[in-house]
Structure 1
């Protein structure tokens, strides 16, 4: 079902404003969602206006522009992911060290027990017999 002449006119005017960088109702990002908002029509109306969408796609054949806030958010997310990867690597390294220390501690404990037993056995063997 095609769009009305009034809706088509609103969409073309909105497209012109967005492409000129002079939006009235949006942040100016070149998205189909903003085209609908700028024209003050529903998203469904935009998708029914196939000829206008074809024009839009031909004119907006570059990557979708992001607002400065979106750019800052994405940079923050990237940095936090980098920090998380580094923290996970550090945790893995420290867990390896902890396992090694636990092994050494267990070996020292058993060695200490063996030495105590050997010392006890020597003291018992060296006691004079009472005859």
Structure 2
């Protein structure tokens, strides 16, 4: 559609809106804070809101780009969340391995203590066999 077939919209206004759109999308605003809002679009272009509203093709392009930007931000947020979860998983795996190492060390100590306890019981059993019980006729000292 040419400018002559768009009632009330000059080629200059459409060009100003498209240039403003480009500046806003590339982060180079001249007249606004750079947020991707329609209010910033018409202010950045230096046209009235009514003029912007008559630029249907510009607004369609604006809406398409802004929705793609929102999807891109959503994708970036998902990527950041995935990276955070991967770090958390890696840290959890390291912690699990550290705890498993502690359990293994404790099991080794327990096994050594059981072996030592068994040896001591055997020694005690041998000593008990060497003890001669006193008969009934022996006096017990008090």
**Greater gyration radius:** 2
